[in-house]
Amino acid sequence: MTSGPERRPIGASRGLSPETGARLAALWREIDSASAPSAGCERCGRCCKFAEAGHVLYAERIEALHALDCAAELDRAQIARGLCPFYRGGECLNREGRPLGCRMFFCAAAGAEERQALHERQLRRVRAIAQEGGIAIDYRPFLAHMDEMLGREPGSP
């Protein structure tokens, strides 16, 4: 395999049933529409550079599966560099499939406590969708999910 962008048809399922994927997509639309006016996201891409930003994006397994299902392309080599595999050229290539944390946390510090409480409530909803869809609850770093689901690069540690 090459270390450059990997192309795959949109919707190439990695394990979500169409019903489960649709339920999670509906939740994402609800969250996005509720937070859009006051989100504080500048779409600058700083938060996509996990290592540089000094944070770890956590996600449930269902979120990682959905992100892959929605992706038109990704750059798996970026995982080893601490970058989101869907980040390129200063933007997210997978806005539709991005995890809950990407939808809830932004560079703006204002409202961080309120967003954390809302994140916890929405995470419970994500977990309910996962359980109803037969997807194991597995909350860990998003890049660890990506690394596992995509397989390691040949010659990587």
**What's residue 14's pLDDT?**
64
Q: Please state, for a pLDDT cut of 90, what percent of the chain lies above it.
A: 43
Q: Which of 17-26, 43-52, 115-124 has the lowest mean pLDDT?
A: 43-52
Q: Which residue segment(s) compose the domain that 98 sits in? A: 13-150
- Does 2 map to a domain? no
- Does 156 map to a domain? no
Q: What is the DSSP letter of 153?
A: P
Element (H, E) at 88: strand 87-88
- Does 8 map to a domain? no
Do residues 129 and 20 touch, judged by C-beta distance below 8 A? yes
Number of domains in the chain: 1
- Does 30 map to a domain? yes
Do residues 87 and 56 touch, judged by C-beta distance below 8 A? no
Q: Which of 10-24, 37-51, 66-80 has the lowest mean pLDDT?
A: 37-51
- Does 7 map to a domain? no
- Does 157 map to a domain? no
| Distance (Å, whole) CA 9 – CA 68 | 10
**What's residue 154's pLDDT?**
45
